[in-house]
Amino acid sequence: MAGEGLDLKFWGTRGSLPTASPEHSEFGGCTMCVELRFGEAVIFFDAGSGLPFAGKELWAEGRRDFHIFFTHGHYDHIMGLPFFLPVYKPETRLTMWSGHLGPGGTTAEMVADFMRQPFFPVGPEVFKAKVEMRDFNAGDTLTPVEGLTMRTAMLNHPGGAVGYRVECAGKIIAMVFDTEHEPGQVDPVVLDLMRGADLVLYDSNFTDAEFDCFRTFGHSTWQEGIRLAKAAGAKRIAFVHHSTFRTDAELLEIETEAQRLFPGAFCARDFQVVSV
Ligand SMILES: [Zn+2]
Ligand SMILES: [Zn+2]
């Protein structure tokens, strides 16, 4: 992961529930976690079950400074946090951010609510790292690292979820992990995040054929992702938040069909690195 521009690594691309089976070996079964590397900064989007693998590797590489930007606190986006080993090392500096909770809700409360009995044996007081919890409001523009700007927006998801538009080194990446669309309507919020993006990561939990059955679950389809990417003039789109049940064979089929419609489309795989 080196280079002039932005490097992105998918540590977890599955939605809802981690999975492991011979039929999930190519794409992987870890839930959402994406790393963005910009200079010395390591920025994660979400702390799903892919995060522990990132923690092990990056610690060995000598990385000690981390940011985690949560899209929201659903289990598939936070479950890896207590297993992120750098958080048990005093040398680590970790800043966690969230902006989906609205007035009164804080990142610190979200983490404490997640790590507590009877659901979890210990609370966040076991962390040894220098941990900072930051709150923002969806809609804010953030500059967590010099030279890197993030625009944020609230997506259509039960309980809220934040979409991010990262602008850095002359490149644009849009992160739209959990969002539901209205069939026949282009979501203006998502369109705005994606406009002219070099790479879009989009909630492709369902297919158009499945979508009617799962309205209100808060997710979208890979076909809608392509419609949006075309409307927004985006260059590439990575499908993420794959359904737990989607097999390697099914994802390969989706990828082939998607590339006929939009050559810059692909199904993201766990541990895949993409240079933007
Ligand atoms: Zn999710
Ligand atoms: Zn969710």
Give residue 104's pLDDT.
83
pLDDT bucket at 62, cuts 50 / 70 / 90: very high
pLDDT tens, 41-57? 899 999 999 999 999 99
Q: What is the Å distance from ligand 2's center to 218 Cα? A: 7
Q: What is the Å distance from ligand 1's center to 176 Cα? A: 11
pLDDT tens, 189-239? 999 999 999 999 999 999 999 999 999 999 999 999 999 999 999 999 999
pLDDT bucket at 1, cuts 50 / 70 / 90: very low
Q: What is the Å distance from ligand 2's center to 10 Cα? A: 18
Q: What is the pTM of this model?
A: 0.96
Q: What is the Å distance from ligand 1's center to 244 Cα? A: 11
CATH superfamily assigned to domain 7-275 = Ribonuclease Z/Hydroxyacylglutathione hydrolase-like (3.60.15.10)
Q: What is the Å distance from ligand 1's center to 3 Cα? A: 30
pLDDT tens, 104-141? 899 999 999 999 999 999 999 999 999 999 999 999 99
Q: What is the Å distance from ligand 1's center to 4 Cα? A: 31
Q: What is the Å distance from ligand 2's center to 95 Cα? A: 21
What DSSP string describes the chain? --SSS-EEEEEE-B-SS---SGGGTTT--PBSEEEEEETTEEEEE--STTHHHHHHHHHHTT--EEEEE-S---HHHHTTGGG-GGGGSTT-EEEEEE--S-TT--HHHHHHHHS-TTT-SS-GGG--SEEEEEE--TT-EEEEETTEEEEEEEESSTT-EEEEEEEETTEEEEEE-S--PPTTS--HHHHHHHTT-SEEEEE--B-HHHHGGGTTSS--BHHHHHHHHHHHT-SEEEEESB-TT--HHHHHHHHHHHHHH-TTEEE--TT-EEE-
pLDDT bucket at 103, cuts 50 / 70 / 90: confident
Ligand nearest to the CA of 15: 1
| Domain-wise residue ranges, the chain | 7-275
